[in-house]
């Protein structure tokens, strides 16, 4: 039997049915673009995955832009996720709501990923709106390089409808994976769906999967066959 030396390591999100749609989990050494309109839940899903990682003794560096850490911490508590109770080295907020956001990111990303942190940039949309696009591309490329070198899962939050199509497609092209969350108003309320648009080096389910936002976070519905 031939041993596959370069087999991709998959890391579970600990959201069971989501892991099934992803073919077992998210690929290590990856940068994932989380797409969604406001209220879709793309931020909640990212936060849930990261909080579960920190609970399992993982390290997280969470970069905030327009929404300060204090507000983000309160948002977490909506779902019972109290980051203040985590060990100090397991969760760090870095506020980059400044004109020097990219300079801070370039320095901090390399350092934090080198220390074994998973990272979140919340949000990439804000960075794109306030910084020169070529410099943002350089930052994303640096993030990709550090992910390849040191491993881990790294999320970029992008709000759909805020950017021109070329910018959005460019970011989808650069990322290792793209997960889209969709919320549509119906006569019965809000219909929520999640789909994996792209995930390199994995075999993933491509159809839309229903999910709900509950008091405990995102729950993927079990009534639909996903394989």
Least confident of 29-38, 57-66, 168-177, 186-195: 186-195
pLDDT at 6: 54
pLDDT digits (tens, 9 = 90+) for 214-223: 999 999 986 4
Residue 5 in this model has a pLDDT that exceeds 50: no
pLDDT digits (tens, 9 = 90+) for 115-130: 999 999 999 999 999 9
CATH number at residue 102: 3.40.50.300
Whether residue 213 lies inside any domain: the answer is no
Residue 204 in this model has a pLDDT that exceeds 60: yes
The pLDDT > 70 percentage for the chain reads 94
Whether residue 45 lies inside any domain: the answer is yes
Whether residue 37 lies inside any domain: the answer is yes
Residue 82 in this model has a pLDDT that exceeds 70: yes
Whether residue 187 lies inside any domain: the answer is no
Whether residue 33 lies inside any domain: the answer is yes
Whether residue 208 lies inside any domain: the answer is no
pLDDT at 201: 85
Beta bridge partners of 194: 181, 209
Taking the C-alpha atoms of residue 107 and residue 103, their distance in angstroms, rounded to an integer, is 6
Residue 226 in this model has a pLDDT that exceeds 70: no
Listed residue (159, 181, 182, 183) closest to 171, CA to CA: 159
Taking the C-alpha atoms of residue 175 and residue 114, their distance in angstroms, rounded to an integer, is 20
Q: How far is CA 162 from the centre of its chain?
A: 18
- Three-class DSSP category at 222: coil
Whether residue 211 lies inside any domain: the answer is no
Taking the C-alpha atoms of residue 120 and residue 96, their distance in angstroms, rounded to an integer, is 12
Domain count, the chain: 1
Please, which residues have CB within 8 angstroms of residue 167's CB and are 6 or more apart in sequence? 128, 133
Taking the C-alpha atoms of residue 78 and residue 103, their distance in angstroms, rounded to an integer, is 32
Whether residue 215 lies inside any domain: the answer is no
* pLDDT tier, 16 (very low <50, low <70, confident <90, very high otherwise): confident
pLDDT at 2: 35
pLDDT digits (tens, 9 = 90+) for 132-178: 999 999 999 999 999 999 999 999 999 999 999 999 999 999 999 99
Residue 73 in this model has a pLDDT that exceeds 70: yes
Task: List the domain range (segments joined by +) for residue 58.
Answer: 27-168
Indicate the pTM of the whole model.
0.93
pLDDT at 3: 40
Residue 21 in this model has a pLDDT that exceeds 70: yes
């Amino acid at each position: 039997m031939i041993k596959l030396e370069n087999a991709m390591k998959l890391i579970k999100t600990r959201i069971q049915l989501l892991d099934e749609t992803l073919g077992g989990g998210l690929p290590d050494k990856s940068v994932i673009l989380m797409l969604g309109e406001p209220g879709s839940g793309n931020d909640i899903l990212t936060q849930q995955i990261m909080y579960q990682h920190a609970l399992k003794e993982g390290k997280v560096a969470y970069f905030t832009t327009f929404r300060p850490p204090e507000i983000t911490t309160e948002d977490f508590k909506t779902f019972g996720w109290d980051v203040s109770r985590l060990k100090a080295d397991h969760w760090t907020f870095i506020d980059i709501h400044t004109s020097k956001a990219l300079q801070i990111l370039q320095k901090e990303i390399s350092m934090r990923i080198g220390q074994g942190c998973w990272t979140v940039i919340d949000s990439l949309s804000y960075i794109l709106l306030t910084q020169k696009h070529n410099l943002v591309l350089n930052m994303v490329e640096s993030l990709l390089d550090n992910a390849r070198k040191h491993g881990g899962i790294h999320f970029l939050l992008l709000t759909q409808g805020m950017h021109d199509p070329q910018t959005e497609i460019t970011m989808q092209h650069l990322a290792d994976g793209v997960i889209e969350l969709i919320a549509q108003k119906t006569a019965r309320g809000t219909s929520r769906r999640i789909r994996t648009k792209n995930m390199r080096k994995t075999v993933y389910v491509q159809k839309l999967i229903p999910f709900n936002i509950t008091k405990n976070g995102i729950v993927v519905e079990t009534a639909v066959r996903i394989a």
